[in-house]
Each structure stands twice: as structure tokens, then as C-alpha cells.
Amino acid sequence: MQENKCPLAIRTVFDPVSVICEWSNLKLDDWQDKICRGRDDILAVCGRQVGKSTAAEIAGLASILQNIDSLCIIISITQRQSTKILKDCRRMLLKIPASGRPGIRKNTETQLTLSNGSTIMALPSGTLAGGSGLRGFAPHTTICDEASFIPDAIFHDVISPMHAVTRGRMLVITTPNFSGGWCYDLFCSGTIRVIEVRSDQCPRISKKFLDHQRKTTPKSAYRREYECAWLALGSGVFDVDAISRAFQKIPDNPFRTAEYGGYKSLATTPKKSLRVQ
């Protein structure tokens, strides 16, 4: 390790991202660094395997290392997904020497509590509208993993109100799904910082692999999984965007795009959106 005169325990509090990366031998891409070190809410729309989960893991772990008595919640549609992220957080934590980090008070499959009073929890959103298992929490950091698959009702009724008092940070990390729903609406809203990273922008993914996937994967699936494309709902005979464009000038059309003084397209990437590439 590179010699540093500042005691590791102090560095862990003031610059936890650098300490985590140093001891886990990780080098972050610029967009990952923005997620890990930022304070603002972020929606990261990414192709497969570009490193979005790694960024979320470091951001979540850094939040509980840097703050006392704080709560970070990881939410995925299944318990398996959220638990996997917590497991990676635990692994990165334990790579930091014990003298340079808080001790561990509680260590279970779904919860990690440190001696500084901070906790990171892994919870499922589930697929039902209730989401009752998520109620009652007031986190300082919330990570929604593969957020476009989390049901609308659970986000609006349960997840979104969590930060009413804490005014915590929301990290929404996802591969695009179909256009429509709360995550796509957030993407189009212009109210959150958007980071888009296609798979071909990731230096760890080879062009050879992507060429193979492009030839062997249905076009719509390839665009969604690797090119950050939000696709039209369903698989009907007619393209949703084509229908929308044909009726743009009708005054009472509820799906008018921003160009015509209304909503953005149902299926294409919005032209005006805050993003980092």
C-alpha cells in the first residue's frame, strides 16, 4: 500500500471511498466516482456489467463509515439481490484493517451494524403492491437496485416517503426496462441527476463480446440491456412512438411530447435530461 502519514482510522472517516478502493484494489471510472462521492440524488441508467452495483456498494458502505448513527437501506425486488450487495459491502469492509475502521456490532445476512451506531440493511421490495416489509424506516441513504423492476405502488407509497424527515440521499441504479412506470418517469422528469453509461463505454467490456451479443440477441433486448434504451411497453403490432408522433398536434392528446408542450415520448430516450456520460 502507498504510505500515507494520516492515520487510517481518520482517513476512513474523512475519505472512506479512497480507503475502500485502496484496500479492495479498485479503480473507479469517473461516473462511478461521482456516485460514490456525491451528495445529491442520482439516477444511474446503465448497461449490463458496467459496474453500477460496485458503485452502489461503495457509496452505501462509505455512508455508514463516514456518519454515526446513520441508516443505509438497499432495496431490490428480491431478497437475493439486495443481500448480494450487502455481502459485497461486508467483504470490502473486512479488507480494511481493524485498526482503521469501526468494529462490527451485528453481522447477519441482511444487516450490518457498526460500532459507530450506523447500519446497512438489505431488504426486498417484493412484487406485490403492499411493500409492508419496507415501512417504518427513515434511512439517510437509500439504494434502489435494478429500480425499473420495482413496482410503482411500492415506490410511491413506501420508498419515496422514507426521506421526509431525514432528507436522505436516493441512489437509483438500474438497467432500463420498458418505458413507463415510476423509474422511467423519474428519468424523464429533469428533477434528478441522470448518469447514463452504455456497455460499450465500459473499458472492462470487450468489443468482441458486444459484437457477439449483438448478433445473437434480439435487437430490442440488446438495446435495453447494453445500450440504455427504454423500449415501448409490450410487443404489439404497432410501435408506440410512431402512434404518439402521428397524434402530437391533437390538443387533448395526453401523450404529447415536450416539443409540443406536453409529455415526452413513451418509448424513446428523452432529448432533455441531466446526464453525465
Dmax (CA) for the chain in angstroms is: 68
Residue type, 1: M
pLDDT of residue 178: 85
Q: Which domains does the chain have, with CATH numbers?
A: 29-276 (3.40.50.300)
Q: What pLDDT does residue 228 have?
A: 93
Q: How many CB atoms are located within 10 Å of the residue 81 CB?
A: 18
Cα(277)–Cα(274) distance, integer angstroms: 10
Per the listing, cell 427513515 goes with 138
pLDDT computed for residue 6 by the predictor: 83
Helices (runs of H) and strands (runs of E) counted in the chain: 10, 9
- Ranges of H-type helices in the chain: 8-14, 16-24, 30-37, 52-66, 79-95, 152-154, 182-189, 207-216, 219-226, 240-246
Q: Which residues are registered as beta bridge partners of 180?
A: none
Q: CA torsion 84→154→51→117, rounded to 10°?
A: -60
* Predicted local confidence at residue 271, as pLDDT: 36
Report d(CA 190, CA 274) in Å as an integer. Answer: 6
| 44 secondary structure, DSSP code | E
pLDDT for position 249: 62
CA distance 206 to 109: 34
Residues 6 or more apart in contact with residue 214 via CB below 8 angstroms: 222, 226
Q: What is the pLDDT of residue 239?
A: 53
**Per-residue pLDDT tens digits of the chain, which is 277 residues long:** 455 678 999 999 999 999 999 999 999 999 999 999 999 999 999 999 999 999 999 999 999 999 999 999 999 999 999 999 999 999 999 999 999 999 999 999 999 999 999 999 999 998 766 677 888 899 999 999 999 999 999 999 999 999 999 999 999 999 998 888 999 999 999 999 999 999 999 999 999 999 999 999 999 899 999 999 998 765 454 555 555 556 666 666 555 554 444 444 333 344 334 444 4
- pTM listed for this prediction: 0.82
